[in-house]
Amino acid sequence: MKDRIVLDVSKLPLHGMGTASPTWWATGAFMLIEGSGFGLAIAVYFYLMSLAPQWPIDAPPPDVLAGTCLTGLLLISIIPNMMVSRWAKQKKLRRMQIGLVVMSFFGIAPLVLRIFEFPALRVRWDDNAYGSIVWTLLGLHTTHIITDLIDTLVLTWLMFSRHGDNARRYGDVQDNALYWNFVVITWLPLYICIYWVPRQ
């Protein structure tokens, strides 16, 4: 009996980008799970607020300067991040390398500002429920910044190495850019909860 080939896929590319990549879907699922975690943390914040006779509990509202500067920085970072994603799609290696270096700095700068944010809360994490939840919200987001920074630094190193001009790496850069957008977007409701809800 003679075998019949149904479909010859030997000429298909080994790696896809965007929705053609399993990594893109994995990143999307990862963001969905983490977004749910942020949603639950915000729900806990409002639940504790509903039980408290006053909010914040035994503390003045946090100082908004460091948090507002960080918010502005994150929003500005969207521009080079989108450019890096576009250059990855177009496979423009040199531009992408420069863009990844820029995004590495945009990953480090918020961590510097975050050092000033924790004291600006004007409450310790173990003072009361209010202190615990605002430190938790800030800590969760800090973890996400660190996670993306590590990924960006690794990709930057790879793109400057002999592994850089590789179809799979371009897709990895696009996925990393997608995740940074998630980091920025999730910060906005946290910023409102931490800095502006206590002022209502």
- pLDDT tens for 11-37 read 766 666 777 788 889 999 999 999 999
20-199: CATH class: mainly alpha
The angle formed by the CA atoms of residues 94, 97 and 100, to the nearest 5 degrees, is 150
Closest CA to 189 of 29, 54, 35, 53: 35
- The yes-or-no verdict on residue 151 having pLDDT over 70 is yes
- pLDDT tens for 64-104 read 999 999 999 999 999 999 999 999 999 899 999 999 999 99
pLDDT for 18 equals 75
Percentage of the chain with pLDDT > 90? 78
Closest CA to 35 of 196, 187, 193, 192: 187
Distance, in Å, from the CA atom of 181 to the CA atom of 170, rounded to the nearest integer, reads 17
